[in-house]
Amino acid sequence: MSADDDIITVEEAGGGLPPLKWDQGMFEQVICGQQFASEWDARYPAQGQIAADAPPGYITLFTDFFSKGNFRLPATHFLGNILQYYGFHISQMSLMGMVRMRHFEFVCRSQGEEPTVDKFRIFYQLQSNMGFFSFALCAAKKILISPPKSFHE
């Protein structure tokens, strides 16, 4: 990276993630299965596009958010508050970050509590890996129902 550049490429950052293996049919399944509203104008990426290539006015959402992270649209206010507080975009959240955030939200709601960023921060701290953000349990706190640590397929 030269002194004039502000952008770090994937190669400069130490390598990238392998391209996703999905197709237009899988995209249509997500659109139908999640009942996307037609006015959302969801678009399948063009050949060679990556997550960062979303056109102006669009965002990238990963299918695992829906299938494994229990993410739904429209998003909850709690998710918006988390993103705003920590200052990152939803396309920068890892799947495990989504799982942990949603798990916390479900536990709060099951106990008749409104999930808040302040409550979330009691149990979780922000962590970053390869440009994606997630949440790790604070060392001194434990939740009775532990979220999964990984997905084995």
Averaged pLDDT of the chain: 80
Q: How far apart are CA 41 and CA 58, in angstroms?
A: 9
Mean pLDDT, range 129-139, rounded to an integer: 87
Instruction: Give, to the nearest 10 degrees, the angle between helix 95-110 and helix 77-86.
Output: 130
Least confident of 11-25, 37-51, 90-104, 129-143: 11-25
Q: Is the pLDDT of residue 27 over 90?
A: no
Q: How far apart are CA 71 and CA 55, in angstroms?
A: 22
Residue 126 structure tokens: 């922000």
